[in-house]
Structure 1
Amino acid sequence: MKRLHALFICLTASTLFGCTTAPKTAQAPQPRVIQSPIRPAMTVLTPQQQELAQLQKLAPTADPGVLALALEARSCAVLNGDVPNSSRLAVIDYSRPSTEKRLWVFDLANNTLLFNEYVAHGQGSGMNYATSFGNTENSHKTSIGLFLTAETYEGGNGYSMRMDGLDRGFNDNARQRAIVMHGADYVNPNMIASQGRIGRSYGCPALRRAVAAKVINIMKDKQLVFSYANDNNWLHSSRFFGCNGQTVAQIMASARDNKHNAGGGAVAVAAP
């Protein structure tokens, strides 16, 4: 009877109020967590990497690997006390044909490209491409490596600038051989259509007469000229590479990879 009575009471109450268990306490809404977007880590460039990036912007058609080697040679020469911390740097890429503008002159202090010009190679080095290089008199071959510019003079080729080669065994006979920068009529792009190349020198980095004096005046008196070629002997033995802990291959590959990721850029290849 007691159970029936209790059931009766519950049914009656449920009709009026609903027969339930104890009401649940209302749950407070949980705050929504907003995640900040993940940002890629910033890459911190070394001063030399920053300088290379600037040269690549100024000379987008130049091989970034060659530019990187030029900066490496300059850095090593300054570090070793061989040269002053020159503000102007000329880069010649002799892995390119004479039909291309393969000379770049940079003002590093002001982050500017001053010239991009044709430049001749020696008769003994090849036809359109320079494939053989030398350091001996009467070879009429182009010398490669790092040069320190010197005084100017008036000679048989007109206004000229002497250079002292700093790479022992590769260009240190430059003054004795009279390897100088000068103007020449045969450095003429109009010759390309008829003979497939510009004219050749006796080993000097000769320029168009219209710009020779301007380039010489910018580059004279202890500035740097870096002449590059795909010459394994020089690339593996020059004392101006490797002072920053990287091999030539690593320096060039890193510069080219960075340029490739950024898009564009020409790369030096072995001459045919």
Structure 2
Amino acid sequence: MQKVLLSLLTVLFLSTSFYKIESNKEKQTPEILKTNPQNLIPKASFKNSAAVAEEIYNSISFTDMSTLKSEVFSKAYLGFENLKKEGKLNQDSNLLTICDFSLSSSEKRLWVIDVAEKKVLYNSLVAHGKNTGEEFAQNFSNTESSYQSSLGFYITEGSYNGSNGYSLKLIGMDNGYNDAAFQRAIVMHGADYVSENFIKSQKRLGRSWGCPAVPRELAKPIINTIKDKNCLFIYYPDEQYLSTSKWLKVDQNS
């Protein structure tokens, strides 16, 4: 009788022990299933905007053209990505136009870049406003009739034929810096005073009423390339602008 009881106790012990093991496995399984596979990859392994910008910049060939400063490209690319995140640009947008107004107006200081192909499509002269400066840009404004250029990021709209010929509408995206551009009729257009001949005769490029004017012969091809919701960035090392523009804020969670 004792042997029978001992056998029954042994069977009962083994069966309950097995049940506890299985129960523990069942409790662990949901936690594993809930785990997001992406969380298994450290955030540090994802490239941030600065790293991507550096990679693209280092792949671009500036042979036989003006060299865009890496720090200017990095800022332009950061804003370009932030505009995408806000839905201001299409996710598949890959054209970034940069005007570096810290350079002499006698230099080709406009670049149209295909960031996907990592190449410069156009490198051109570009004028600043007559009250922004002579050879060098110095003063910027968002005010009507100031005849000054406006800093910041723009979204390109459609093209049209106006008093300056084939032109491109621009929407300023920086509050207080260029958001009055549309009302001021700040557009991209061609101009005869944006030429090497004008530089030779006047020792500087001609100036606009605030528009980023380009050579007459390049106006149509550049405008047709960048129109319809692409990004234009007009840069100048203005510390107030660079520290306050929402498009130049680094997302620490990205």
Same fold (TM over 0.5): yes
TM-score scaled to structure 1, two decimals? 0.71
Task: For residue 187 of structure 1, report the CA deviation from its aligned partner.
Answer: 0.1
Measure the CA separation in 2 of the matches of 1:59 and 1:157.
Answer: 33
Task: Write the mapping of 1:75-114 to structure 2, written as runs, cut at 5 A.
Answer: 75-85=81-91, 86-114=93-121
Q: Which ranges in structure 1 are unaligned for 5 or more consecutive residues?
A: 1-43, 247-272
Task: For residue 236 of structure 1, report the CA deviation from its aligned partner.
Answer: 1.1
Asked if structure 2 preserves the Cα contact closer than 8 Å seen for 1:56 and 1:62, the reply is no
Q: Which of structure 1's runs of 4+ aligned residues deviate more than 6 A?
A: none
Name the structure with the higher helix share.
2
In structure 2, the partner of 1:62 is: 68
Paired residue for 1:145, among 145, 148, 152?
Answer: 152
1:210 matches 2:217: yes
Paired residue for 1:200, among 189, 198, 207?
Answer: 207
| 1:82 alignment partner AA | K
Identity %: 40
Q: Report the CA distance shift for 1:203/1:96 in structure 2 as closer, same or farther (over 3 A).
A: same
TM-score scaled to structure 2, two decimals? 0.76
Paired residue for 2:123, among 104, 111, 116?
Answer: 116
Task: Write the mapping of 1:142-181 to structure 2, written as runs, cut at 5 A.
Answer: 142-181=149-188
Measure the CA separation in 2 of the matches of 1:63 and 1:192.
Answer: 23
Asked if structure 2 preserves the Cα contact closer than 8 Å seen for 1:95 and 1:230, the reply is yes
SS in 2 for 1:186: coil
Asked if structure 2 preserves the Cα contact closer than 8 Å seen for 1:123 and 1:141, the reply is yes
Q: Which ranges in structure 2 are unaligned for 5 or more consecutive residues?
A: 1-44
1:50 matches 2:57: no
SS in 2 for 1:124: coil
Measure the CA separation in 2 of the matches of 1:52 and 1:119.
Answer: 25
Task: For residue 47 of structure 1, report the CA deviation from its aligned partner.
Answer: 5.9
Task: For residue 210 of structure 1, report the CA deviation from its aligned partner.
Answer: 1.0
Measure the CA separation in 1 of the matches of 2:52 and 2:154.
Answer: 24
Asked if structure 1 preserves the Cα contact closer than 8 Å seen for 2:156 and 2:168, the reply is yes
Higher relative contact order (CA 8 A, sep 6+): 1
In structure 2, the partner of 1:220 is: 227
Task: For residue 57 of structure 1, report the CA deviation from its aligned partner.
Answer: 3.6
